[in-house]
Amino acid sequence: MRDLSSGPGRVLVFVYGVFAVAATGRSLVQLGADADKAPVAYSLSLLAAVIYLVATTCLLLGGRRSWLIAVVACTIELVGVLVVGTLSYVDTALFPDKTVWSHFGQGYGFLPLVLPFVGLAWLRVTRPAAHGSTVQRGTVQRST
């Protein structure tokens, strides 16, 4: 399979890394300053931070297992940004303070909304044991 962190993946790792740091920083500041103000939003900030960290790590490590975990992480990320994004418009009382995913990541140039789609697209290109192009030379691969 292709290296997860080369080519377009290299850019992706960097951007995921930036968001991992941004989301971690945000949740630490929020939880440290006033954890009781918006427990739901702050928990989600922390979840987002963990998801970005996991995705970054898996892309860096590469390999079949990392690929699988990355798919799960990106899927949770996609569901998270869609659900939180929608809820932050519909049920404003639930989110007295913002998270990375509020309003579909408006505070971050909507990148949090775009990122999981790009991530999943890249993981689709690099999926292990794909037919044809990504099969490494000299190995025989057969689907069982």
* From 2, 4, 13, 101, residue interacting with another protein (rule: CB under 8 A): 13
Contact 128, 1 (CB under 8 A): yes
Q: Which is nearer to another protein, 17 or 128 (CB)?
A: 17
Distance of closest approach, residue 79 Cβ to another protein, in angstroms: 25
- Is there binding between residue 125 and another protein (CB under 8 A)? no
- How many CB atoms neighbour CB 1 within 10 A? 17
Contact 133, 110 (CB under 8 A): no
- How many CB atoms neighbour CB 139 within 10 A? 7
Q: Which is nearer to another protein, 17 or 75 (CB)?
A: 17
Please report, as residue ranges, which positions from 78 to 117 form the binding site for another protein (by CB under 8 A). Answer: 97, 109
Distances (CA, A) of 76 to 11, 54, 84, 90, 116: 21, 11, 12, 20, 9
| DSSP classification of residue 96 | S
- Is there binding between residue 17 and another protein (CB under 8 A)? yes
Distance of closest approach, residue 102 Cβ to another protein, in angstroms: 13
Task: List interacting residues with another protein (CB under 8 A).
Answer: 6-11, 13-15, 17-18, 21, 25, 29, 97, 109
